[in-house]
Amino acid sequence: MAIPTFFPLIHNEWVKTYKSNKIKNPYSGETIAKVYMAEGDFLDMAIESAQQGFYLSRNL
C-alpha cells in the first residue's frame, strides 16, 4: 500500500520542501503518512500568510 505524502500549502500554493516526518499509527507502529514541513523562508511565508488571513477574516 502506498503511503500518502503531504506538502505544505502556503498562500494557495503547494510548496516542495525537503524536511519530512513519518506519521505512525500508535497501535501498530505502521507508517501511515509522510508529511513535509515548512522551514526557513517558507515558514516565514506561512506565518505572514496566516496573519493576512486572520486580519481579512476577522472583518467579515
Summary mean pLDDT of the chain: 92
Q: SS3 for 25?
A: coil
Contact present, 36 and 5 (Cβ < 8 Å)? yes
Contact present, 53 and 59 (Cβ < 8 Å)? no
Contact present, 3 and 33 (Cβ < 8 Å)? yes
Domain layout of the chain by residue ranges: 5-58
What is the model's pLDDT at position 8?
A: 92
Give dist(CA 39, CA 6) in Å, integer.
Answer: 15
Has this prediction a pTM greater than 0.85? Answer: no
What is the model's pLDDT at position 60?
A: 81
Residue-wise pLDDT tens digits, 31-53: 999 999 988 899 999 999 999 99
Outline where 1-60 has alpha helix (H).
41-58
